Amino acid sequence: MSKAPLPNTVDPRRSADQGLSFQGCVPLKRFQRLATYLVEQEGVVNVSLTFGVDEERIRYLNGTAEASVQMLCQRCLEPVAIGIKAELNLGIVRDDEAAQMLPRRYDPLVVDHELDVSEAIEEELILTLPLIATHEDCEVKTDFRDPDAKPEGDDKPNPFSVLAQLKGNKH
Residue 74 Cβ vs Zn ion, minimum distance, rounded to whole Å: 8
Q: Which residue number, 44 or 72, has a Cβ lying nearer to Zn ion?
A: 72
Residue 75 Cβ vs Zn ion, minimum distance, rounded to whole Å: 4
The residue range among 29-37, 71-79, 88-96, 150-158 that interacts with Zn ion, by the rule CB under 5 A, is 71-79
Does 138 interact with Zn ion (rule: CB under 5 A)? yes
Q: Please give the Cα distance from 11 to 73 (Å, whole number).
A: 40
Q: Which residue number, 25 or 81, has a Cβ lying nearer to Zn ion?
A: 81
Residue 149 Cβ vs Zn ion, minimum distance, rounded to whole Å: 17
**Total residues in contact with Zn ion, by rule CB under 5 A:** 5
Q: Please give the Cα distance from 38 to 115 (Å, whole number).
A: 25
Tell me which residues in 7-66 interact with Zn ion (CB under 5 A): none
The residue range among 21-29, 47-55, 74-82, 101-109 that interacts with Zn ion, by the rule CB under 5 A, is 74-82
Does 73 interact with Zn ion (rule: CB under 5 A)? yes
The contact set with Zn ion (CB under 5 A) reads: 73, 75-76, 135, 138
